[in-house]
Structure 1
C-alpha cells in the first residue's frame, strides 16, 4: 500500500509543481492548454499559426480560443456562429452588442445614462412660442453621445390661424433644423419673413430621431462649387 501511494505521488508531482495541464502538448502555456492540431513545439510557446487550433484557460479564468494570451474573459481569433432564436417581438430588456474595431472587444452599447438602444424617438410639443419662431430650444440631449435628426414637424396657432407677411402677403419656406451648442442639441424652427396672421403665439410639434453615436460615422462636409449652374456632382465621401 505504501508503495502505491509513493507511485501516485510521483505521477501527480508535475501537476502539483506547475499547476498546468497540457492536452496534446508537453509544454502547456496556461492552467489548461489544449493543442487541437498537435503541432506545438516540445518546449516554448507556439507560434501564432500554431495557436490557431489551441484552447487555453488562464490562471485568471480567461479563455482563449486561437490564442494563448486572451486579454478578456473570452477571446477568439476566429468567427463565431450563433444558432437561431425566437424573435423578441418588441420585448424590452435586450441590449445591442458592439465591437471595438481597434481591440476587437465586444461590449454592450450604452450611454452614460445606461440607455442601450440604437434608435430613440421623441416628439417635442413646444407651445406658446414667440409668434412662429423658436430660436434656441435646448433639448439637453448630449451631443457627444447622440445625434438628433428632425424627421417631421407641424405648426399651428392657438385658434388654428395661419401665417402672413405684411409686405407681400406671403411668407418664406419653413426653416427648421437641429444644431449643437455647448454640448447639447438645440432646435430652431421659424417661417422666415412670416408672422402669425392673427397675432397670436403658436405651437410647434417636432418629431425627432435620436441615434446612439456608437453607430454613427461622421463623413464631414462635402463642398461643391457649381459655378452658377444648376447641375453638378460630388465625389463619394471618404469613409464610405
Structure 2
C-alpha cells in the first residue's frame, strides 16, 4: 500500500509541474494554445493577494480593433522592451551662452511606433527679462515628430537666467505610448469673432 500511495503522489507532482498544450504537442509554457481562445469570465480570489517581495506582475492588454492584438507584459521576461505606457525623464543642460535654450533635442524614440507627451517639466535657474519688469516668463516646450523620431524643444523665449547664474538644466518628463494601444486625434478649430466654441463632432465617444 505504501508503494501505491507513493506512485500516486509522484504522478500528481508530475502532472502539476508539466506543460500543457492545446493543438500542439510541444508546449513552450505552462499552457500553450495553438489557435483561438474564448473565455466567459475570470475568477479572482477575494480578497486579492498582494505580490510578495520576490514576485513580479504580469498583465495582458488588448489593442483596439481592427488589430485586436493581445500582448502579455512582464518585466522579468523582457526588461528592456517597451510597455504600453512608459515614463522617460531627460535632464538636458543648456548652452552656456544662452543658459535656457534647447532648440532641438533628438530623443531617438521612433515616431512611427510611439506617441510622446510631455507630462511635466522643471528648470533649475530663475529667468528674467531685460525689458519691463512686469512681464511673466512663459516656457515654450514642445515634443514633435521629425525625421522618424521625436524631438524636444524648450525655451523661455525673450528671457534668460542672469549672467551671474550657472547654466540652466531642463528636466523633461515624457509619457511614451505604444501606438498599437493609443490613438492620436488632431483637430483645428476657429472661434472667429467669438470667445466660445464647440467641436463640430466628438473625436471619441
Q: Find the residue that maps to 2:130 and give its secondary structure.
A: coil
| TM-fit CA distance, 1:231 | 1.5
Count of aligned pairs: 166
| TM-fit CA distance, 1:139 | 0.9
- 2:35 matched to 1:74? yes
Q: For 1:210 and 1:142, how far apart are their aligned partners in 2?
A: 10
Q: For 1:105 and 1:135, how far apart are their aligned partners in 2?
A: 38
Aligned to 2:119: 151
Residue 102 and residue 156 in structure 1: after superposition, are their counterparts in 2 closer, same or farther (change >3 A)? closer
Consecutive unaligned residues of structure 1, counting only runs of 5 or more, are 1-56, 62-71
Q: For 1:115 and 1:183, how far apart are their aligned partners in 2?
A: 19
Consecutive unaligned residues of structure 2, counting only runs of 5 or more, are 1-21, 26-32
| TM-fit CA distance, 1:133 | 0.8
| TM-fit CA distance, 1:223 | 1.8
Q: TM-score, normalised by structure 1?
A: 0.57
| TM-fit CA distance, 1:237 | 3.4
Aligned to 1:134: 102
- 2:132 matched to 1:168? yes
Q: Find the residue that maps to 1:215 and give its secondary structure.
A: coil
Question: Taking CA–CA contacts closer than 8 Å with sequence separation of 6 or more, which of the two structures ends up with the larger relative contact order?
Answer: 2
Q: For 1:152 and 1:137, how far apart are their aligned partners in 2?
A: 17
Aligned to 2:10: none
Deviations 1:153-194 (A, max 9, x none): 11123xxxx212222233541111211111111111111111
Superposition pairs for residues 218-229 of structure 1, below 5 Å?
218-219=184-185, 221-229=186-194
| TM-fit CA distance, 1:94 | 2.1
Q: TM-score, normalised by structure 2?
A: 0.66
Aligned to 1:122: 88
Residue 238 and residue 171 in structure 1: after superposition, are their counterparts in 2 closer, same or farther (change >3 A)? closer
